[in-house]
Structure 1
């Protein structure tokens, strides 16, 4: 199963020192050996964890969908790539009710874990705690996998995510008015 993610991981790691380390039946990635992201398989499921100090097998998302796995790997390894290359972080906007309503959740037999299914494509389902990675995934699926990948590979975070930064502009204008340099926080616009 992990073979389906190898080309994607290769693209995200190319030109950087970000490299996958062997972990369980998969890979672990770290940011200066402090924050870890791990992906591995158990039977026919992809498992994902985020932890500090060392990779963890306590996963917070698991899925059978290679597409869901691709979105998660793009966001997690892509963030390490952008940090390594001193590019701006990609932070999706707060998840709108409209984006959230595209998913249906149902309880699982495990406490604090719900099953989430994308209404437009029921094959896109996963089990998750309500974590930041889940919200990022719910945001990401509105783009194609290739478009989302290109957003992490492109130093300007275009084309997919740039329009969504505009929701921060009123707050950023306030910061700018008080003298804070916001030039690296949002792309310049002709009105500035």
Structure 2
């Protein structure tokens, strides 16, 4: 007769660990993919909007200046808008960097959870002896201390991204406010 495995004595835990290992692996793959996609979007978003606006402003200021005057730019307003667009480019770049670091951390946390769950599944496949129970207990304790994933966020990155958008709004609002008589 073969010696019983730990999963035979505690089948509910074994089943839960197996399910969590699969889910953790799927979450890790999803988060790593999301991280890469989101970094691309963040880098492009407000950064591109501020950059295009800055280039448009420079283009309007060229030539005889009639286009810039028609939109409501004078030298002071043009400097204010250009500064806002440039600041928006810098701020959104920093926000992208911070968000990218968070995604790296979150993907690392997801990998750690997946690895720990896989270890638990393997331990539950082992014998139901005292040494293996002790190893499984320590592994479960370590697993339960790992951070959860999917709900992490960076308030700083969110704030900076919003400030980058506000820079763009300010930059286009300067000439518009003049046109509207504000």
Q: TM-score, normalised by structure 2?
A: 0.22
Of structures 1 and 2, the one scoring higher in RCO (CA 8 A, sep 6+) is: 2
Please identify the structure whose Cα radius of gyration is greater: 2
Which structure shows the bigger proportion of residues in helix conformation?
A: 2
Which structure shows the bigger proportion of residues in strand conformation?
A: 1
Q: TM-score, normalised by structure 1?
A: 0.21
